[in-house]
Every structure is written in structure tokens, then in C-alpha cells.
Structure 1
Amino acid sequence: MQSFDRLDWPSIASQLDIEGYALLPGLLSREKAQGLIARLGTDASGLRREPLASSGLGCGDLFYFEDPLPVPLPAWRSGFYRHLAPIANRWNETLDMPYRYPAELDEFLQRCREAGQARALSHLSRLGMADYLALHQRKEGAHVFPLQIVVLLAEPSSDFEGGEFVMTEQRQRMQSRPMVLPLRLGDAAIISTAHRPFKGGKGYYRVNLKHAISRVRRGVRVGLELSFHDGP
């Protein structure tokens, strides 16, 4: 995988400020994306299957990784976090929130463990025909990182139809704003976990975001969701 340092971080920060997400097209080549799903495949050991129906979040399956995460996910987590922590701290400063994220992921994860957050939230999703993931947020626990990564590991139109990645944003006194992220095989996106700052007429305030995957009409959609905080 390419070096995270080579990504256009000023542009990524600008996209996150404006939209609440930033697209990373072609982050993985087709070969690397297919190799990753083969390596992390849902038949591998170290994955905990949770049917979405059991939590009322839709239909299909999530496969949670146990700690430690399999290679290469720990390096991805650390590499992305190092660049995203300054953005997260700037957002908190903008919203007059006192919490500041440490520069390195290990220190942040130590804070999570001290608060009783040791359950890995990163997972694969596998959605077959008629499956979907309902709108939700990943904000469990006292320590929540405001950004996370999603990667599509299947090819739209070829491997599946439907299954669009969807976000909604709720601003004050306005209807929810829907957003559809045009992901293809190997594309990634950095998304807001639950909240982000938005500049209104009287200054900045916090807006609420959720994400989902629309119903799959054909085939099987496989995706990766990488969280930086752990759950209780």
C-alpha cells in the first residue's frame, strides 16, 4: 500500500471540513484489494460473526476482528491516525471542546483501555442479495475518534448491484442532507464517525452524521470499516 505521507492531506482536510467525508479513489489497486479480501476473508480465524438482524441494524453479516488486528490493518490504523489526529483536534478546538487527541494511536488506545474500551470495532461487512446496513454511528464509549475509514472490496455492477454507501447529515432546523459516496473496488473514504463542525450564520456548531449501506439488489458486497477507537 502507498505511503500515507504521499496523500494530499490539505485537500483531504478541506473535503472533510466541507462535506464530512473525503474520497480516496484507487487507494488500493484491484490486485491489492482482491489480495486483502483473500487474506482477511470471512472464513479466516480471528473473526467474530455478528448478524445485523441481531442488533436491529439490517440484514447481512459483520465480521469483527479480534485484537490484535491482522496485518496490514495495524499499520493502516497508525498511519491514518497520525494524519487525522490534527484534524480531529482542530475540529474540537473549533467547537470549544477541551478534549485533545494524542499524536500517536498507541497513546489514544491506552486511554481507551483505561476507560474500559478494549473491544475492537473494526470489521468486514458481507451483504448478499436484499441485505442492507441501516443508518448508524460508531460512538460507543467515553473516548470516540471523530473519523473512520471505509474501503470497498468488491466491484459494483460486476460483483454486486445496489449496496451504495450512504451518509446523512442533520443540521439545525433543516431536513437531513443525504450523500451517496461513489465507491468502486479499492476506493476508500474517510468519514465522520458521528459529528463534525459546521459554520452557520452565528458561528460554528456541531452537526450529526450517520452512515449506512443501501439494499443489495444482486450479488455480494464486501467492505472494510476501520475504527480508531475501541468499544466498551
Structure 2
Amino acid sequence: MTDTMLRAGRVGDRVAAQDRDALTGELNAYGNALTGPLLTPEQCHEIAALYDEPDRFRATIDMARHRFGSGQYRYFTHQLPDVVRELREAFYPLLLPVARDWAAKLGQPAPWPDTLGEWVARCHAAGQTKSAQILLRYGPGDWNALHRDVFGDLLFPLQVVIGLDAPGVDFTGGEFLMTEQRPRAQSRGSSTTLLQGHGLIFTTRDRPVASKRGWSTGPMRHGVSTVRSGRRRTLGLVFHEAA
């Protein structure tokens, strides 16, 4: 398989064509938002097949071994397939205004420059030099514990997961889970079925929540429910590097 094949279809244009206002509204209200289609089924199959090319990855993580759940994922090297690189570069400017708005509401620094290249360079200068782009693979009985993807002091507050298999056809179960810790109340949860080729944008750590005193921090975690049958594979796009 060649990267030229994976690049076919101008995925960056599909990202740019998403309804920015609708996505922003969903992110502000819930901390996550579903996109429209980003990849064709053929592109999904091609990306998923990269899992069996170990030279493309810097590390393989067995989730059960680390008590993260059950299943496996692999971190890409910095030599990203063209389609993965293009998706990441296209999403950054789409999500940057949301990131800056959230930081302003919470009175936090907004260290993110206008381009992804500049931001990645800042991560590297701070000692966060490892690629955090991942392919995840779940089989029957596998799941992912609720967590946050914070790999160092520098982080981008949003990330994207893209479904590579068709729910109800290739697998059952495996819903994407999010929980929000509410002030002086029990946590609120949500589940999302991720369609093949579609993305889910979600908060890496927190979202701003309106309160009587202005804005407060709403801590959030994400995970994956137990896969009941078949195989569920996803592509994870993270916009900060790992330490």
C-alpha cells in the first residue's frame, strides 16, 4: 500500500467543509461533537490495515498489561501517512478558535500559535518530542477505561477520533463514552456510536461550564464500552506531542 493511495480524496477539503458553527455549538454544550463523513470506506480499510506494518509505529501498548482496559493500540512515528498528516493539519485551524475561546473563558493561557507546525515545534522545544497519533484495535471483550490524554505540560484541549469499522456490521458494542464531573453533583455520562469514516471531536481534559459566578472548569474523561462482537478500529488525532 502506498501513501498516494491513502491521500486520494482530499480529506483536508472534507474537514474544511464541516459545519463549523454546529460543531462549536455541540462542543460548547457537551464537550464533544460528531462530524460528517471524512473518509471513504476504502480509505478506512487502508488506514486500518497499517496496523500490520510495524515499522510505521514507535510503540505498541497492551491495555490490559497497563490496566487501561483491554485491547491494543500503536503510536505512529513522526513519518505519518499522508492522510493522517492531512487530517491533523486540517483540523487544527478548525479547532483553534474553540481552544482559544475556552482558554479565555477559564482565564487560562492560550499558547497555541496559528499553525500546527509552530505548535509542534514548541512542544518539541519543551521536551515533548514523541508522536501521539494512534491506531486503536479492539476485539470481543475489549474496552478502554475512562481517562485523559495528557502527555506533558503542553496540551491542546481538543482531539479527534475517527471510526474505521462499521458499527452493527463489523462490530457490536464499543460505544465512545464520556463522563463530566459536575460541581457538587454526581457525574453525567454520554455514549456515542461512531460511524465508519466519521469523526468525534472531544475535549482532552476539561470544558468551560457557565455558572452564576461566570465560567467554571468541567473535568471530563473518555473511554470505550465493551466490544460485544467483531473488531473495532479507530484512528486518534492528538494535537500535542508526548513527552
TM-score (norm 2): 0.91
In structure 2, the residue matched to 1:41 is 51
**Offset of residue 158 of structure 1:** 1.4
Q: What is the DSSP-based 3-state SS (H/G/I as helix, E as strand, rest coil) of the residue aligned with 1:209?
A: strand
With 108-117 and 44-53 compared, the bigger mean Cα shift is at 44-53
In structure 2, the residue matched to 1:19 is 30
Percent identity between the aligned chains? 35
**Offset of residue 201 of structure 1:** 2.2
Contact preservation (8 Å) 1:42, 1:63: no
Work out the number of aligned pairs and report it.
231
Aligned counterpart in structure 1 of residue 196 of structure 2, from 185, 191, 196: 185
Q: Name the amino acid aligned to 2:113.
A: P
Q: Name the amino acid aligned to 1:153.
A: L
In structure 2, the residue matched to 1:115 is 126
Are residues 14 and 73 of structure 1, via their aligned partners in 2, closer, same or farther at CA, if it must alter by over 3 Å? Answer: same
Contact preservation (8 Å) 2:56, 2:79: no
The CA distance in 1 between the partners of 2:94 and 2:61, in whole Å, is: 31
Aligned counterpart in structure 2 of residue 137 of structure 1, from 148, 165, 174: 148
Q: Does residue 95 in structure 1 map to residue 100 in structure 2?
A: no
Map 1:75-86 → 2, pairs under 5 A: 75-86=86-97
Aligned counterpart in structure 2 of residue 218 of structure 1, from 222, 229, 238: 229
TM-score (norm 1): 0.95
Map 1:155-170 → 2, pairs under 5 A: 155-170=166-181
Contact preservation (8 Å) 2:12, 2:90: no
CA-to-partner distance for each residue in 1:157-193, whole Å, 9 max, x for gaps?
A: 2111111111111121121111111211112111000
Q: Name the amino acid aligned to 1:46.
A: R
Aligned counterpart in structure 2 of residue 65 of structure 1, from 62, 67, 76: 76
Contact preservation (8 Å) 1:21, 1:191: yes
Q: What is the DSSP-based 3-state SS (H/G/I as helix, E as strand, rest coil) of the residue aligned with 2:150?
A: coil
**Offset of residue 217 of structure 1:** 1.1
Q: Name the amino acid aligned to 1:219.
A: G
**Offset of residue 228 of structure 1:** 0.5
The CA distance in 2 between the partners of 1:68 and 1:31, in whole Å, is: 22
The CA distance in 1 between the partners of 2:241 and 2:112, in whole Å, is: 14
Unaligned 5+ residue runs, structure 2?
1-10
Please report the RMSD computed on the Cα atoms of aligned residues, expressed in angstroms: 1.4
The CA distance in 1 between the partners of 2:205 and 2:193, in whole Å, is: 20
**Offset of residue 2 of structure 1:** 5.4
Q: Does residue 230 in structure 1 map to residue 231 in structure 2?
A: no
In structure 1, the residue matched to 2:162 is 151
Q: Name the amino acid aligned to 2:135.
A: L
Contact preservation (8 Å) 2:12, 2:86: no
Contact preservation (8 Å) 2:12, 2:87: no
The CA distance in 2 between the partners of 1:2 and 1:68, in whole Å, is: 18
The CA distance in 2 between the partners of 1:68 and 1:109, in whole Å, is: 14
Q: Name the amino acid aligned to 2:157.
A: P
Q: Does residue 9 in structure 1 map to residue 17 in structure 2?
A: no
Q: Name the amino acid aligned to 1:6.
A: A
The CA distance in 2 between the partners of 1:133 and 1:108, in whole Å, is: 28
